Structure 1
Amino acid sequence: MYTPVSSRAANAYRQVGVQSGIDGATPHQLVQMLFDGLQQSLHAARGALQRGETENKGVHIGKAVRILEEGLKGGLNPVQGGELAANLGTLYDYCIARLTLANLRSDLALVEEVVALIEPVAQGWKEMGQAQVAAGGGGY
């Protein structure tokens, strides 16, 4: 299938923009990007469920699970993070289990539960970054 040059250029630009954002990001900003992606995936899954789009629901829930498992949970440091890292790991495991069940049952309430659990953590992370920047720490 033919893709117009303008469309290919736009896609390339978006990919370069994303890569540039990753390349110059602090560890704190990278985690913020993971939370942003997670929230986007959860909201997209919620919309797909509401519209009855089974395939899209599965794609978005799958992406959210990967972000939780490979990104957020995988980035925890239990040695430095201690009890906080352990608690976050437990929260992420619970969210993964709830999303897996939500996918199997096409259960909007389970996705909403995960959104409600993740939003305060994501907001707290964002506020920490803002406080570090305001204190002259550059975000990490």
Structure 2
Amino acid sequence: MFGTARSATSTYAKVAMETGVAAANPHKLIVMLFDGAKTALANAMQQMKNGEVKAKGQAISHAITIIDGGLRASLDKTTGGEIATSLDALYEYMSNRLLMANITNDPAILEEVDGLLSQLREAWEAIGAPITTKAAPAVSVQDNISPRVNSFVRA
């Protein structure tokens, strides 16, 4: 009659992700792609440990899809210049390493790619962090209409 707790959790996670995507700015979407790839790799690692060959392959394929179809596809090599070209090569390297991890069943390769994704995610988060500036102190200004002092105007 009622769905399982697992299906309810899965549905909640899907709705939360869709809501996050709809409300996200382009910078946040890239962070979400990094998070999705890292989640797929964690899943692949677990499936590899469990000996679940099919599920491991699906999780690795999902990570490759995110890297190639999301992160790599979002690069603008014309505007991004050398940085975009270098990232493109790095994403290609990661995808190739993940294919090798799937073939050889090597968890160390999954950890290597996860580490690269973590470093890129941290760098991406750092460049997107809001810049905080000190607010200008309130100053007293006299308006031209009345002799009273107005202290709500900021310089």
Question: Matched residue of 1:57: which SS?
Answer: helix
Question: Matched residue of 1:15: which SS?
Answer: helix
Question: Counterpart of 2:76?
Answer: 77
Structure-1 separation of matches of 2:89 and 2:69: 14
Q: Which has the higher contact order (CA 8 A, sep 6+)?
A: 1
User: How much has 1:76 moved relative to structure 2?
Assistant: 0.3
Cα displacement string for residues 84-119 of structure 1 (whole angstroms, at most 9, x for unaligned residues)? 000000000000001011111211122122122222
Structure-2 separation of matches of 1:52 and 1:74: 32
The amino acid of 1:56's aligned partner reads: A
User: How much has 1:11 moved relative to structure 2?
Assistant: 5.1
Question: Matched residue of 1:127: which SS?
Answer: helix
Unaligned runs of 5+ residues in structure 2 are 134-155
Question: Counterpart of 2:50?
Answer: 51
Of residues 79-88 and 40-49 in structure 1, the stretch that sits farther from structure 2 once superposed is: 40-49
Q: Supply the RMSD in Å over aligned alpha carbons.
A: 2.2
User: How much has 1:13 moved relative to structure 2?
Assistant: 4.3
Structure-2 separation of matches of 1:108 and 1:57: 11
Question: Counterpart of 1:93?
Answer: 92
Larger Rg: 2
Which structure: greater helix fraction?
Answer: 1
Instruction: Flag the 1:52–1:22 CA change in 2: closer, same or farther, 3 A.
Output: same
Percent identical across equivalent pairs? 34
Unaligned runs of 5+ residues in structure 1 are none
